Amino acid sequence: MSKTCQGRYNESAERWEAVYQGKVLASNRDRIGGADYLRKVIEGGLSIKAKNAGITKIDLIDEIIDESGHAVAGDVQTVEKEFSINERFTIMEDYVDMVAQRQLASTLVTGEGGLGKTYTVMKSLRSSGLQDISKMEIGAKFGGAKGYIVVKGYSTPKGLYRTLYENRNQIIIFDDCDNVLKDPTAVNILKAALDSYDERVVTWNAEGWGGDEDLPKRFNFEGGVIFISNMPKNKIPQAIRSRAMCADVGMTRDEIVERMRAIVAAPEFMPEFEMGHKLEALEFVAENAYNPMVQELNLRSLVNVIKARESKPETWRRLGLYSMANS
Residues 185 and 304 in one domain: no
Same domain? 209 vs 87? yes
Interval 22-36: pLDDT, tens: 899 998 877 777 888
Instruction: Note whether 36 and 253 are within 8 A (CB).
Output: yes
Domain around 321: 253-325
According to DSSP, residue 53 is labeled T
Domain boundary among 192, 216, 248: 248
How confident is the model over 138-184, as pLDDT tens digits?
A: 444 444 457 899 999 877 888 899 999 999 999 999 998 998 888 89
pTM: 0.74
User: CA 42, CA 20: separation in Å to the nearest integer?
Assistant: 12
Total residues belonging to the chain: 327
Indicate the residue among 53, 76, 99 that finishes a domain: 76
DSSP run (H or E) holding 257: helix 253-265
Residue scoring higher pLDDT (211 or 290): 290
- Contacts of 262 by beta carbon, 8 Å cutoff, 6+ apart: 86, 89
Which residues, in sequence order, are bridge partners of residue 147? 131
Domain count within the chain: 3
* 234 and 215 within one domain: yes
